[in-house]
A and B are shown apart, each in its own frame.
Chain A
Amino acid sequence: MTLTTTTASRVVAQLRFDRRTVALILVLPCLLLGLIAWMFDGTPVLDQFGPMLVGLFPLIVMFLVTSVATLRERQSGTLERLMTTPLGKGDFVAGYALAFAALALLQSVVVVGFALAVGMDVLGPLWLVVVVAMLDAVLGCCLGLAASALARSEFQAVQMMPAIIFPQLITCGLLMPRDQMPEVLEWLSRVFPLTYAVEAMQELAAGGGWSEVAGAVGVIALFIVGAVVLGVATLRRRTA
């Protein structure tokens, strides 16, 4: 086993002891989706927006969970200890990303399954909805990891969510179609990863297939890599 997978399995072992967190990660997005389905019962809203929410809720949940991760390690002193071992900074961040990606896969299967059960119809291929939902959740993890490397206190960590996710939510095309936005905001939306997550899901909801979402999926993948690199770059072996 490499140090990355060793670290990933350690994080998974920790999660397995924390059943309540895992339950929240799996159930919370379903609960929110259930509320939407109930509210708009008998309208096409769920078919239209359901896939986007299937991508969005896991992303936010995973961002919140992982943004606390590095901070926890820092405050328990284990990060300082890890930095004196052969563990690389990349191993640390990638280990976390891998562990949470496994959880994200489980989460996206559960959430998509639940959405179908409450009546969401997707015109595009279902497996792609699961893949994009999982990538969105992984993106959430990695953005959370990058953010948590920047946070020095709990107060800062919890505010990373509104600071990093909310601007993306506003401009991603969910509130207003992006081509109707002021030009500057439309440009801004193009540099935010959430835009591509929502765009891919919109395509799938409207019956698009792989060729329609390949571009957006590629951009999401690049952002995942970028967030991991940022997380590694902001981690310091030597601290004051």
Chain B
Amino acid sequence: MVNNGDAVRARRLRVERGGRTIIDGMDVAVPTGQVVGLLGPSGSGKTTLLRAVVGVQARVTGELTVLGEPAGTPSLRRRVGYVTQAASVYTDLTVVQNLRYFARLAGLPGAGAEAAVRRAVAAVDLGGHEKQRVATLSGGERSRVSLAAALVGDPELLVLDEPTVGLDPVLRRDLWAMFRRLAGEGRTLLVSSHVMDEAVQCDRLLLLREGVLVADTTPAELLETTGALDAERAFLALVERQPDAQPDAQPDTQPDTQTPEGSR
């Protein structure tokens, strides 16, 4: 990958939803070629941040750059893969029909699409289920189809919203090994999770609480600074260390710039 530096960079990022501020003036960077974990309790703004990165979140202000371009730029749609929290594939189609459709959307021609589908099926260990309708698969299998649908396009940046929920330990281990391999190939992975054991497998960790970045650190640093024995306790220590009612200091009053709408 030619694009060194940061795969995602946010400055004074702010997202509002239903009159509430979900993300409040966030400055953050996701380095290229790393697995970056996005951790935080539910309602902390993880999904909203990921949706902003892939360009489907409304009312995003501030600066948000993805692979060198403003988030939501049409050309990014080929370079970024997104997996939603709930499996978002067509349950009335077979595994292969789903993957073939997403491969073609990613711009792969017939033969290339077939090869990409085979690779993606193997990557999520769904061999033997190719001709099965998604509706007849188990919950864990469905979420793997959903993950495979993002892998077929071979994106430079993978944005995964809780990809390991409902999966057994063996599969979780295998998926994390795959995430590491993908990062080794130069791809960037932004993975949200609230399973703290998974945190140790990330290169960097972003800890989110109520739309504010509580920590931007590495797993080793996290344990060291908190003195906790494991990631779970370290996270709790960090979350509870921050006083709830912070004085609402807003030093920068520069006008926020609107990210360009990437609609066609």
Q: Spell out A's residues near B (CB within 8 Å).
A: 1, 3, 6-7, 10, 13-14, 17-18, 76-78, 80-90, 236-240
Q: Give chain B interface residues in 77-97, CB to chain A under 8 Å.
A: 77-78, 80-82, 84, 86-93, 97
Asked whether A238 lies within 8 Å of B86 as measured between CB atoms, the reply is no
Asked whether B90 lies within 8 Å of A14 as measured between CB atoms, the reply is yes
Asked whether B106 lies within 8 Å of A85 as measured between CB atoms, the reply is yes
Contacts of A18 in B (CB 8 A): 92
Contacts of B93 in A (CB 8 A): 10, 13-14, 17
Asked whether B72 lies within 8 Å of A238 as measured between CB atoms, the reply is yes
Contacts of A87 in B (CB 8 A): 105
B163 at the interface (CB under 8 A from A): no
**Smallest beta-carbon distance B260→chain A, Å:** 11
Q: Give chain B interface residues in 141-156, CB to chain A under 8 Å.
A: 149, 153
Asked whether A17 lies within 8 Å of B133 as measured between CB atoms, the reply is yes
Task: Assess A85 versus B264: contact at CB under 8 Å? Given A14-B90, A239-B58.
Answer: no
Secondary structure dominating the interface of B: loop
- Which residue of the partner chain, among B78, B88, B102, contacts A80 with CB atoms under 8 Å? B88
B181 at the interface (CB under 8 A from A): no
Q: Spell out B's residues near A (CB within 8 Å).
A: 17-18, 51, 54-60, 72, 74, 77-78, 80-82, 84, 86-93, 97, 101-102, 104-107, 133, 149, 153, 261-264
Contacts of A82 in B (CB 8 A): 105
Task: Assess A80 versus B105: contact at CB under 8 Å? Given A236-B58, A238-B55, A239-B56.
Answer: no
Could you tell me the distance between the alpha carbons of A35 and B54 in the complex, rounded to whole angstroms?
Answer: 53
Can you show 24 pairs from A to B with CB atoms below 8 A apart?
A3-B105, A10-B93, A14-B92, A17-B92, A76-B88, A78-B88, A78-B89, A80-B51, A80-B56, A80-B88, A84-B55, A84-B56, A84-B77, A84-B80, A85-B105, A85-B153, A86-B78, A86-B105, A236-B58, A236-B263, A237-B262, A238-B262, A239-B58, A240-B17
